[in-house]
Amino acid sequence: MSEKDKTITFSLVREKEKETREILVQVYQALKEKGYNPINQIVGYILSEDPTYITNYKNARGLIRKIDRDELLNTLVREYLKIDKEKK
C-alpha cells in the first residue's frame, strides 16, 4: 500500500484538546505579561467561573471563555493521573 492510499484518522477530541491548550498558553502569556501569577489566576477562574480573574489584555478573557471548564477539569485530572481516555 502506498503512502497516498493510507487512511488518515482525525480525532475531534484531540483537536479540541489542542485548541484548549493553545488558548491556555495564550491566556497564561497575557497574564504573565501583565504581571499576574498566571497559575493562580487561571485556577481562580476555573474554580469560580468569575471572568475578572483573567485580564482583557490580548483578549485573554474572551479566549478563556471558549473553554468548557468541565472538559478542562476532566482532562487535567486524567493527565495528572496518566489515565488514557480510551482505556476508561
Write down the domain spans for the chain: 12-87
86 pLDDT above the threshold of 60: no
Give the Å distances, CA to CA, from 67 to 17, 44, 49, 63: 10, 14, 11, 8
Q: Which residue type, as a one-letter code, is found at position 15?
A: E
7 pLDDT above the threshold of 80: no
Count the Cβ atoms, other than its own, within 10 Å of residue 41: 22
The pLDDT value recorded for residue 82 is 87
2 pLDDT above the threshold of 90: no
pLDDT of 39-68, one tens digit each?
999 999 999 999 999 999 999 999 999 999
Return d(Cα 54, Cα 46) in angstroms, integer: 10
The pLDDT value recorded for residue 50 is 96
Q: For Cα atoms 64, 84, 8, give the angle at the middle one, nearest 5 degrees.
A: 85
